[in-house]
């Protein structure tokens, strides 16, 4: 099951990842402990998560906070107001007969939507992120097909899940795996989930090959299995291609022990879930102030950013590491790069010139130097209009005056080179034997001297040099 050219086979894969917020102490809608691993079955339950009639859910605010952290890290837009919906279905692991979840249709608004993640050279779009409760856990005797009974444990029922739904942007099992690994290190760095814990991150995948039906592969319980399961499914569906109508729409189960997928049921349509607004939970407003508080408390996903800087901007690992540790300077860096396409120069400037001396002023409210201003300065330096010491000097002026470099240099004899220092250079050159008399007679010698001055003071305005030189020759 290796060596297939999946892209050529018309493979389309989308993922739905369920990620438990294992950093939470309690469940999503009740105060039961979420520390269910290794416990006796049905030990951590209460009337709310057991779904007894007449009980009312209360939303765990910390879960909202953690979901926002994930949303931010994946570049999603957080909703100003989000709503909960009931997803109705009967299954023994769900004693209420509905799951409290979120919905993106019929007026429903999930907590966040519309982000993306870079996977290798490809941008994978994230359709939405939603909060929902985990169902209980079923244990089968033997396999799911042959078992004559199943046991149910509701300790897991009501554990907070963040579901992440991607667009069908993956062209191979390998890409899906890279995405999942990136996602896992992200939630770990954010301090919201420990992806190593058994069942903490579970994945369903939608796979279709060459225009065949959409097959949902359920219950891929570990990331190790994802690549195997997807490769199996691509191969299986590939056998339909070209020989008929393609694979049918259905839901299949990944059997880890046998490493095959087996048919569970023909796929339900969304209407089968009879989604409707959860009447027991009001809409949740996420105000700007709350967002700000969450963002301030969010740990930097520093390792990931450093990797991205080294990869996408070709920064040296050490520079990428140092820059990415500073959240505000990182933002400044990316913003500057939009108008000045030399990332290494920007990065060196930010961690060399800026840091320490004036960093605090650059990242405060209405900073004196903006990314556009720095970009302009670096372009002047890059174009040879400024020497490095002059650029430093001009930068200090920008910081103290809050003005752009073009404003500061306008009408000046070079930004930091005044007529006095030009005159000093000129007089030194003229003191060299014969230079003055040559220049008086010969325009070529005159221009040669201007060139010499500009070589020694590259930031000087040639017009001012010529004027100074002519004036001083008259005095000779
Ligand atoms: Zn409970
Ligand atoms: Mn779900």
Model confidence pLDDT, tens digit, residues 145-159: 778 888 999 999 999
**pLDDT mean across residues, the chain:** 85
Which pLDDT score, from 0 to 100, does residue 5 have?
46
The number of folded domains in the chain is: 3
CA of 159 from ligand 1 middle (Å) equals 9
CA of 368 from ligand 2 middle (Å) equals 47
CA of 20 from ligand 2 middle (Å) equals 11
CA of 84 from ligand 1 middle (Å) equals 18
Q: Are 221 and 325 members of one domain?
A: no
Model confidence pLDDT, tens digit, residues 454-476: 777 767 777 788 888 888 888 77
Residue 201 placed within a domain: yes
Per mean pLDDT, which range of 19-23, 47-51, 152-156, 242-246 is the poorest?
242-246
Last residue of a domain, one of 291, 318, 351: 291
Residue 337 placed within a domain: yes
Best CA proximity match to 389, nearest among 366, 415, 358: 415
Last residue of a domain, one of 386, 409, 432: 409
- Look at 321 and 261; give whichever has higher pLDDT: 261
Q: Which ligand is nearest to the CA of 45?
A: 1
Residue 141 placed within a domain: yes
Q: Which ligand is nearest to the CA of 103?
A: 2
Which pLDDT score, from 0 to 100, does residue 447 have?
82
- Look at 105 and 246; give whichever has higher pLDDT: 105
- Can you give the residue range of the structural domain that contains 376? 300-409
Which pLDDT score, from 0 to 100, does residue 268 have?
61
CA of 17 from ligand 1 middle (Å) equals 24
CA of 33 from ligand 1 middle (Å) equals 8
CA of 132 from ligand 1 middle (Å) equals 14
- Look at 6 and 75; give whichever has higher pLDDT: 75
Which pLDDT score, from 0 to 100, does residue 97 have?
92
Which pLDDT score, from 0 to 100, does residue 270 have?
67
CA of 68 from ligand 1 middle (Å) equals 23
Model confidence pLDDT, tens digit, residues 239-266: 776 666 677 788 888 888 888 888 877 6
Residue 325 placed within a domain: yes
Average pLDDT (400-407) is: 87
Q: Are 35 and 145 members of one domain?
A: yes
Model confidence pLDDT, tens digit, residues 74-104: 888 999 999 999 999 888 899 999 999 999 9
Q: Are 216 and 168 members of one domain?
A: yes
Are the C-beta atoms of residues 45 and 26 closer than 8 Å to each other?
no
Q: Which ligand is nearest to the CA of 60?
A: 1
CA of 364 from ligand 1 middle (Å) equals 44
The most confident of the ranges 266-280, 294-308, 403-417 is 266-280
Question: Count of residues for the chain?
Answer: 476
CA of 132 from ligand 2 middle (Å) equals 7
Those residues with Cβ within 8 angstroms of residue 471's Cβ, 6 or more apart along the chain or in another chain: none
Q: Are 139 and 245 members of one domain?
A: yes
Which pLDDT score, from 0 to 100, does residue 243 have?
65
CA distance linking residue 463 with residue 362, whole number of Å: 35
pLDDT at 361 over 80: no
CA of 11 from ligand 2 middle (Å) equals 24
Q: Are 338 and 396 members of one domain?
A: yes
Q: Which of the four pLDDT bands, split at 50, 70 and 90, describes residue 215?
A: confident
Q: Are 256 and 378 members of one domain?
A: no
Residue 423 placed within a domain: yes
The most confident of the ranges 100-114, 256-270, 437-451 is 100-114
CA of 65 from ligand 1 middle (Å) equals 20
Q: Are 160 and 286 members of one domain?
A: yes
Q: Which ligand is nearest to the CA of 87?
A: 2
CA of 146 from ligand 2 middle (Å) equals 26
Q: Which of the four pLDDT bands, split at 50, 70 and 90, describes residue 4?
A: very low
Average pLDDT (398-422) is: 75
Q: Are 79 and 23 members of one domain?
A: yes
Q: Are 322 and 202 members of one domain?
A: no
- Look at 303 and 450; give whichever has higher pLDDT: 450
Are the C-beta atoms of residues 30 and 134 closer than 8 Å to each other?
no
- Look at 143 and 200; give whichever has higher pLDDT: 200
CA of 163 from ligand 2 middle (Å) equals 6
pLDDT at 400 over 50: yes
Average pLDDT (117-140) is: 88
CA of 16 from ligand 2 middle (Å) equals 8
CA of 459 from ligand 2 middle (Å) equals 63
How are beta strands 201-209 and 215-220 bridged, if at all? antiparallel
Q: Are 257 and 336 members of one domain?
A: no
Q: Which ligand is nearest to the CA of 18?
A: 2
Q: Are 281 and 325 members of one domain?
A: no
CA of 18 from ligand 2 middle (Å) equals 7
CA of 67 from ligand 1 middle (Å) equals 20
Which pLDDT score, from 0 to 100, does residue 161 have?
97
Count the Cβ atoms, other than its own, within 10 Å of residue 218. 18
Q: Which ligand is nearest to the CA of 26?
A: 1
Residue 3 placed within a domain: no
Q: Which of the four pLDDT bands, split at 50, 70 and 90, describes residue 416?
A: low
Which pLDDT score, from 0 to 100, does residue 211 have?
74
Best CA proximity match to 474, nearest among 426, 438, 430, 440: 440
- Look at 440 and 113; give whichever has higher pLDDT: 113
Last residue of a domain, one of 356, 381, 409: 409
CA of 24 from ligand 2 middle (Å) equals 18
Residue 221 placed within a domain: yes
Q: Are 430 and 283 members of one domain?
A: no
Residue 196 placed within a domain: yes
CA of 301 from ligand 2 middle (Å) equals 25
- Look at 206 and 352; give whichever has higher pLDDT: 206
pLDDT at 224 over 60: yes
CA of 213 from ligand 2 middle (Å) equals 21
């Amino acid at each position: 099951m290796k060596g297939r050219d999946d892209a050529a086979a018309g493979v389309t894969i989308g993922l739905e990842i369920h990620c438990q917020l294992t950093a939470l102490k309690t469940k999503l809608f009740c105060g039961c402990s979420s520390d269910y691993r290794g416990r006796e079955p049905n030990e951590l339950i209460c009337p709310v998560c057991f779904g007894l009639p007449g009980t009312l859910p209360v939303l765990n605010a910390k879960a909202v906070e953690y979901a926002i952290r994930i949303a931010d890290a994946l570049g999603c837009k957080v909703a100003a107001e989000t709503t909960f919906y009931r997803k109705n279905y009967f299954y023994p692991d769900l004693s209420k007969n509905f799951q409290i979840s979120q919905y993106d249709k019929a007026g429903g608004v999930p907590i966040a939507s519309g982000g993306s993640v870079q996977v290798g050279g490809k941008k994978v779009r994230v359709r939405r992120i939603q909060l929902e409760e985990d169902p209980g856990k079923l244990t089968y005797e033997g396999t799911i097909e042959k078992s004559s009974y199943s046991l149910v444990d509701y300790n897991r029922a009501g554990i907070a899940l963040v579901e992440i739904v991607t667009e069908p942007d993956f062209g191979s099992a390998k890409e899906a795996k890279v995405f999942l690994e990136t996602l896992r290190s992200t939630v770990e760095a954010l301090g919201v989930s420990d992806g190593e814990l058994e069942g903490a991150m579970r994945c369903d995948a939608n796979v279709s090959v060459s225009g065949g039906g959409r097959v949902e592969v359920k219950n891929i319980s570990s990331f190790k299995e994802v690549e195997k399961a997807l490769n199996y499914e691509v191969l299986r569906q590939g056998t339909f291609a070209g020989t008929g109508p393609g694979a049918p729409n259905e839901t299949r189960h990944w059997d880890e022990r046998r490493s095959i997928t087996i048919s569970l049921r023909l796929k339900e349509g969304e209407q089968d879930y009879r989604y409707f607004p959860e009447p027991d939970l009001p809409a949740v407003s996420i105000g700007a102030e709350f967002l700000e508080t969450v963002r301030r408390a969010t740990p930097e996903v520093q390792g990931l950013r450093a990797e991205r800087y080294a990869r996408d901007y070709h920064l040296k690992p050490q520079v990428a590491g140092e820059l990415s540790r500073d959240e505000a300077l990182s933002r400044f860096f990316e913003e500057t790069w939009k108008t000045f396409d030399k990332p290494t120069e920007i990065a060196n400037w930010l961690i060399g010139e800026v840091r320490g001396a004036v960093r605090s002023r650059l990242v405060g409210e209405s900073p004196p130097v903006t990314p556009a201003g720095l970009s302009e300065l670096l372009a002047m330096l890059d174009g040879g209009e400024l020497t490095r010491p002059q650029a430093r000097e001009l930068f200090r002026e920008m910081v103290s005056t809050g003005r752009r470099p073009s404003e500061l240099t306008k009408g000046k004899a070079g930004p930091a080179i005044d007529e006095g220092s030009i005159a000093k250079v000129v007089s030194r050159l003229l003191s060299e034997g014969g230079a003055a008399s040559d220049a008086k007679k010969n325009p070529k010698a005159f221009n040669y001297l201007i060139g010499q001055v500009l070589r020694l003071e590259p930031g000087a305005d040639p017009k001012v040099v010529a004027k100074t030189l002519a004036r001083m020759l008259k005095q000779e």
